[in-house]
Structures are given as structure tokens and as C-alpha cells.
Structure 1
């Protein structure tokens, strides 16, 4: 027996068949409800529990009042559906905007992460370069330190040998150890006096024959050779002073009228470093002296007698300012009129650039030119 299409319950509700379960039992919903979910529908047995007043196998002809109520209910449900649809559309639009903003923020975050990763890679590369340079510098310092130690050991060895030679030289003329400039000068002066006395006696009234003058110079040369053999540096200043340029000098004492030993930086009263009484200054025949000044940004680094040595100083200082292993090419731009040469450098594949190092030729006059000030 098939289930009825319409069931009236005792509470006055009209139920219409809307569907069925898997076992074939019919499902009912109130006739006034147009749309009803299946999980809230009821079966015929459940309606029987409420109380069935009647049932029919065909739908009753709706009355005008019932049709109106059904129309109103359907209109209300349709309007509710429209409102729900509009609200869902608005929510979807807002959700899309939020989702779009989130996607943009995610893309920006990804881009920033990529930039940070690239910067981190650059920093790692720079760190590796700095570590490599530091290791090269450390090896260079160790090499220089070892070389300095070798030089120091060699200097100590030479100093020991020099002291031994000085003692041997001092013992040769019958002196004690520790011979210094004063002993050597006295030795040379004694030899000079003995030769002069012998030659004067042999030459009678003549005052210093040519052979006698040569003997005097031979005695002076012997004294200088003895100083050189002892490892003592001997040189002549521009003013004619015989000196080791460190501690001692041989100068003319006008008060005593003789040559004497004085400290290199001393200027005692009565001592004339310029000339002996028999030496007349001849500045007119002395040519002007040219020296070469090495400087960097107006800071003087040194004076040299040749341009090659001054340029060598500048190139060495510039090379020290570059990393070890950098390929450098030096060139000098000369201004012959002003006597100035400027150092330029090319490092690797870079363009030529200035260094600030300059070598200037300076002419030192031998005498004062009064007309030059006019």
C-alpha cells in the first residue's frame, strides 16, 4: 500500500509528502513550508504519534485564502533568499579584497626575503674576501717579522765583527781597545807632525816642498783608511766638515789654531766649521746643487740627489696602499718647465688615476745672489 500524499493531523496541520527514506518510508513536511530540509521532515509513523485526523491520495484544491498564505510565504522565503544572496555576495567581495591584499603582502614578503638572501650572499662573499685578505696580511707580517729577525741577527753579527776589527786597529798603533775619533785624530796628527818635522829639517829654509805636502796628505789618508777599516763611517758635509754624520766631526778651532774633534751637533765658541785659515771660500766656481723632493699632498717625505730614488720612494709608498697581489702600473707625468713630475697609477683594468705623489726638482744655490732679490 502506497503512502498517502496528504495527511491531516489532529492539531490542524496539513502535511504533504516530500520524499522518502532508503527503506521506502515516506517523508512529510508542513504544506505551508515551501522548502524544508530532509533532516527535519517526519515519517507517517511519527505523524501517527501526533494524531492523524485524515489522509488523501491527492492534493486538495487550495482555497483562495490558502493560496494567498502560500504566496505570501513563498514571497517571504524568496525575499529572504535574496537578502541572503546579497549578503553572501558582499561577504564574498570583502573576502576577495582581503584575499587580494593578503596575496600582495605575501608577494612583497617573498620579494623582501629574496633581497635579504641576496644581501646575505654578498655579505658572505665580502666576509670570505676579508678573511682571505687578513690571512694574506698575516702571512706577510710573519714574513716581514722573520726577515727583520734575520737582519737583526746579521746586524748583531756585523757589529761584533766591527768591534773586533776596531780593537785590532786600535792595537795596531799601540793604543788600547775602545779607540774613538779622538784617538785616531791624535794618531794622524802625530804621524803628520813627524813627517812634517822630518821634511822641514831636510828641506832647510823651504816651507813645505811638494813632496812634503804629499806626505802630509798621505798621513791624512792613512788616518781616514784606518777609520774606514774600523767600520767608522766618514763623510764630508757641504760646508767641508769631516764627520761620521752621527756623533763626531773634525772642525777647525780658531782659538787653538788647530783641527779638533767635536760632537756632530755641537757648535762650541771659537770653532769654525766652514774653513781652515788657509782655505779661502771659492763659492763663485761651485755649481748649484740640484736635489729632488718627494712629497704627498704637500707633505715632504724626503730629499734625494737623484730623481730615480725620489720616484722609487713615491712608488713604494703607493704600492703599500693597495692589497697584496693587485696589478699596478705606474707612470710619471712631467712638467719640464716647472721641474715637477706627478705619479699616476693604473690598477688592473681600471682607468688611470692620480696618486698625490709628486717629485720636484729643487736647485740649491752655492752662494747668495744679491741681484736675485731686486
Structure 2
């Protein structure tokens, strides 16, 4: 459904998911279009980012940020056009990176907005992908925590996702042997043929653990973790002494409502960390590295301009399709970075 410039559609959290989210956990509402006051601007959402971390915000468990409240607009990064402005730093028609969430329009006082200009405007949605939070996560997690060295073996979970696809390509730029892990033959072919991974393995294959061992015959120096679960269990025995494991997410556990079945793996993990002197470090990109965004943006922009990075988007049209797309993303149905095309890219007449 196209945007109606008289009303503001928004999607709110109707109930906290128990396990995997369902359509009943979301509700679409319509409000009067807000009017900006002095020092404010009205933003029209063009692109909306869907990211796994949003599932955590739907839970009321303690975390690094407060949970979403029931009936609150679902959070999310957005690329927006300034529709109306009473703010000295912005004018109508400006493109901005914002955090408006799952809605057509939003009021802002300018705080936290990043004005977009230059080459990124050729692909504004990239400000939510390889030149935004996912790219920033890949860049800092791999280079600062993983510290890959030429000739080392880097293994990447969710290898065709928004973060993993970039982790593998940056590791190749740094001269590493890169093995990706993805779900399905098509994604694995894409990782090898388009992204340039040396190998990509299907974690759904019953012989996955044996294949991983064969293709990492000299062990694993860096494992970029975003999945957890059975994938991590296959990786851990192959980690080399002084291996590094940046941890940016654990998507396999996001919908879990009870401890996983099977033996307790904690003693094995603790033993491996001690014996192999592993560095296992979780990080929250905005809180730990926000001050280094400019460094990331300069280098990534240069690699993009040089044609050294490929990036695939899974584009879904329509704000009303965001819940279904989000549920599918958590099930691994997406192929690339999930973005919702909320509206066209022209300002109001």
C-alpha cells in the first residue's frame, strides 16, 4: 500500500513473542500525520532496515538497551527524505540516515540524523547495508577483534548475509583463506562465484562438520560468529592456538524458549579457551566503536569505488510486508540484506 501523505501508518509491537515471532505479535495502526514545530523536521521513510537484533528488543529480558514497550513502534534504521523542515541544518528534500522505525513518517529534532550526500545517494539503501551498521559491524569486528593476517584461515557464519558477506570479502582483501557457512546450495554458490570465498559449506548438510574439518585442514585462526548453535559446535574443535572469535550475534538462539537439548558444551568451551588461549569477544558496534565510524566509512567507500566489494539486497516492497519479511529473515529465508522499500524516492510536490 503506498504512503498516504495525510496519515502515518506504523507497525507496533502488539505482544511479546514466545519463541518465534508470529503475525499476531505485530499490529498496523494509522495516525494523523504529525506537524513539525519550531526546530523540528518531518521525515518520510523511503527505506527500512530489518536486522536480527530487533528480535532481542521485542523481549523484556535484560539487555544493553531497554526493550520495546507494548504498543511502541518497532525500532529500525531508516533512510528518509526530509518532507518539511523548521530546522536550520536541514531543508526539504535532504536525504538522511535516521532511526525512525517501522512507520511512514516521523518527527525529529535533528538529533542523531546523518545527512547523506555524494556517491551513497546513487544507492541510498546502502546506508543501511555495506556503508551502514552491517558493514560497520563486519569491518570493526573482523579487523579490530579478529585481526586477520595474510595466509590465515577465516571462517564466516551466515556467509551471504549482510554482515557475513562483507566479513569474507574483507578477509580476502587482507590475504586470508576464507571458508563461508550458509544455508543451501544456491547461497554457497553465490559466496564462491560472486563474493570470492575460497569455499562455502552448507550447514544443513549431514556431513557438515566433516566437510568443515577437511576444508580447514590447517585449523581456523578467525571465526566470525553470528549464529551459534550447531555451527559453533563444529567450529570450536578446529580453532587454532591463539585463535580469535568476534561475536556479533547468536541468531540460532534468538527464538529459543528453553535450554538446548543434548550434552552441556560449556566445559568443552572453557577448556578450549584456556588450552588454546582463544580470544572470544562480544561487541555492540554502536556502543563499542561509534567513535570510529568515519574511519570505517572512508575505507569501505574506497573499496566500493574500486569495485572490490559485492553486496546483495533482499528488497521487499511495502511497509505492510515488514512483519512477514522479519519472520522469514529469522528463519533464514532471506538472501542478502533485508530492506523494505517503504516508498518512492521523490519528495512531495
TM over 0.5: no
TM superposition score category, shorter chain reference: under 0.3
More helix by share: 1
The TM-score, its normalising length taken from structure 1, stands at: 0.17
Task: Find the structure with the greater CA-based Rg.
Answer: 1
